[in-house]
Amino acid sequence: MFEPVPAARPAGGLAVRCTRLLLSPWSRFSLLVAVLLAAAVTMLLFEPQRLLASGWPPQLTGSAAVALFALAYGVCTVAFVPRPLLNLAAGALFGTQAGLAAAIAGTVLGAGVSFMLGRVLGQDALRTLLRGKYLKAADGLLSRHGFRSMLALRLFPGVPFAAANYCAATSRMGCPPFLLATGIGSVPNTAAYVVAGSEASSPTSPVFLAAMGFIVLSGAGAALVAWRRRHRLAAAGDPAA
187 burial via Cβ count (<10 Å: 0-12, 13-18, 19+) = middle
Average pLDDT, the chain: 77
Q: What's the confidence (pLDDT) of residue 19? A: 60
For residues 43 and 76, the answer to whether their CB atoms sit within 8 Å is yes
For residues 86 and 48, the answer to whether their CB atoms sit within 8 Å is yes
Q: Which of the given ranges, 60-74, 109-123, 147-161, 173-187, has the highest pLDDT on average? A: 173-187
Q: What is the pLDDT of residues 89-116, one digit of tens each?
A: 899 889 999 999 999 999 999 999 999 9
Q: Which of 136, 143, 196, 137 has the alpha carbon at shortest distance from 168?
A: 143
In the chain, the percentage of residues whose pLDDT exceeds 90 is 24
Question: Confidence class of residue 240 from pLDDT cuts 50, 70 and 90?
Answer: very low
Q: What's the confidence (pLDDT) of residue 56? A: 62
In this model, does residue 5 exceed pLDDT 60?
no
The domain spans of the chain are 25-45+60-237
In the chain, the percentage of residues whose pLDDT exceeds 70 is 66
Q: What's the confidence (pLDDT) of residue 39? A: 76
Q: DSSP readout, 72-94?
A: HHHHHHHTT--HHHHHHHHHHHH
